[in-house]
Structure 1
Amino acid sequence: MADVSSASSPSGLLTPDQVAHRLGISPSTLKRMRLRGEGPNAVKITRRTIRYQAAELDAWLNGKVASIENGRRVGHG
């Protein structure tokens, strides 16, 4: 299963660029997913600062993997 926490900051928070890189998508795609409620949960630190908890990202990815392994159709979210 995916584990992104090893390269996170000491606080366990990842920048959108870090998350996008780990997911193999562009930061703009990650932002679009966030705004649609389709991606991993984000933490709004300030009005313009978004971070992602490494543990939350792991859980979201593991849910996606479990959906595929169980033969279920993977939807958004």
Structure 2
Amino acid sequence: MAYKQKSRPRPLADTDKLCSADEAAELLGVAPQTLAHWRVRGTGPRYITLSARCVRYRASDIRTWLDDRAKDSTAENGRDGQ
């Protein structure tokens, strides 16, 4: 009799890794409270709420948010009002 192995869920790609608020804050070099303030204001990286107390950040969303804020010169600082 052949043994049928259960299929395992595919692991998330590194860019789809879900980070806790503490992990995301560490990656960004800010305090977790700063991320909480950014969530309230809508100025931080996109986030996912799994429940009322469980917030996660996709690594790809953090990367996109950082890339959108990259500047080549100080002349760009006032360009987008941020």
Corresponding residue for residue 73 of structure 1: 77
Instruction: Output one character per residue of 1:24-74: Cα deviation in whole Å (capped at 9) or x when no partner.
Output: 110001110111001000101111100001111111101111xx1264226
Higher helix residue share: 1
C-alpha separation in 2, matches of 1:36 and 1:72: 22
**Deviant stretches of 4+, over 3 Å:** none
Structure 1 unmatched runs, 5+: none
- Give RMSD over aligned pairs: 2.0
One of 52, 60, 63 as aligned partner of 1:58: 63
Structure 2 unmatched runs, 5+: 1-12
Corresponding residue for residue 53 of structure 2: 48
SS in 2 for 1:14: strand
TM-score, normalised with respect to structure 2 = 0.71
**Percent identity of paired positions between Structure 1 and Structure 2:** 29
TM-score, normalised with respect to structure 1 = 0.75
**Aligned residues between the structures:** 66
